[in-house]
Amino acid sequence: MANQKILIIGGGGREHAIGWKIKQGKRATQLYFTPGNAGTAQIGINLPLKATDISGLLNFAKEELIDLTLALPDDPLALGVVDTFQAENLRIWGPTKAASELEWSKAYAKDFMKRHNIPTAKYEVFTDYEKAKTYIEKGNLPIVIKASGLALGKGVTVAQTKEDATNFLKKVLLDKIFGSAGNEVVIEEYLSGVEISIHAISDGKNWKIFPASQDHKRIYDNNAGPNTGGMGTIAPIPFVDNALLARIEKEIIAPTIIGMAHEGRSFVGCLYPGIMLTKEGPKVFEFNSRFGDPETQTYMRLLDTDILDIFDASIDGKLADLKIGWKNISACNIAIASKGYPGDYEKGKIISGIKEVATEENIVVFHAGTKLDENGNLLTNGGRVLGVSATGQNLKEALQNAYSAISKIKFEGMQYRSDIGKEALAMLE
Ligand code: AMP
Ligand code: GLY
**Residue whose CA is at the smallest distance from ligand 2 atom 5:** 292
* Statement: residue 246 has pLDDT above 70: yes
Q: What is the mean pLDDT of residues 22-47?
A: 97
| pLDDT band at 359; cut points 50, 70, 90 | confident
* Statement: residue 2 has pLDDT above 80: no
Q: What is the mean pLDDT of residues 266-272?
A: 98
Q: Where does 35-102 show beta strands of DSSP type E?
A: 45-46, 68-71, 92-93
* Statement: residue 365 has pLDDT above 90: yes
**Residue whose CA is at the smallest distance from ligand 1 atom 2:** 153
**Residue whose CA is at the smallest distance from ligand 1 atom 10:** 217
**Residue whose CA is at the smallest distance from ligand 2 atom 3:** 292
Structural contact between residues 37 and 381, judged by C-beta atoms closer than 8 angstroms: yes
Q: Is the CB of 188 under 6 A from ligand 1?
A: yes
CB atoms < 10 A from the CB of 354, how many? Answer: 21
- Which residues sit with their C-beta closer than 6 Å to ligand 2? 215, 229-230, 288, 292-293, 295
Q: Give me ligand 1 centre to Cα 423, in Å.
A: 18
| pLDDT band at 220; cut points 50, 70, 90 | very high
Give the tens place of pLDDT for each residue, 179-219: 999 999 999 999 999 999 999 999 999 999 999 999 999 99
| pLDDT band at 254; cut points 50, 70, 90 | very high
Q: Give me ligand 1 centre to Cα 188, in Å.
A: 10
Give the tens place of pLDDT for each residue, 123-161: 999 999 999 999 999 999 999 999 999 998 789 999 999
Q: Is the CB of 274 under 6 A from ligand 1?
A: yes
For residues 340 and 142, give the distance between their C-alpha atoms in angstroms, rounded to a whole number.
Answer: 27
| pLDDT band at 428; cut points 50, 70, 90 | confident
Report the percent of the chain where pLDDT is more than 90: 96
* Statement: residue 298 has pLDDT above 90: yes
How, if at all, do strands 232-235 and 4-9 pair? Answer: unpaired
What confidence score (pLDDT) does residue 358 get? 86
What confidence score (pLDDT) does residue 132 get? 97
What confidence score (pLDDT) does residue 14 get? 98
> Which of 114, 127, 139 lies closest to 169 in space, CA to CA?
127
Q: What is the mean pLDDT of residues 340-355?
A: 96
Ligand 2 pocket test: pick from 14, 215, 228, 296 the residue with the most ligand atoms within 8 Å of its Cβ. 215
Q: Give me ligand 1 centre to Cα 217, in Å.
A: 10
Give the tens place of pLDDT for each residue, 37-49: 999 999 999 999 9
| pLDDT band at 57; cut points 50, 70, 90 | very high
What confidence score (pLDDT) does residue 153 get? 78
Give the tens place of pLDDT for each residue, 221-243: 999 998 899 999 999 999 999 99
* Closest ligand 1 atom number to CA of residue 217: 10
Q: What is the mean pLDDT of residues 57-78?
A: 98
| pLDDT band at 1; cut points 50, 70, 90 | low
CA geometry: angle 286, 288, 292, nearest 5 deg: 115
Structural contact between residues 214 and 233, judged by C-beta atoms closer than 8 angstroms: yes
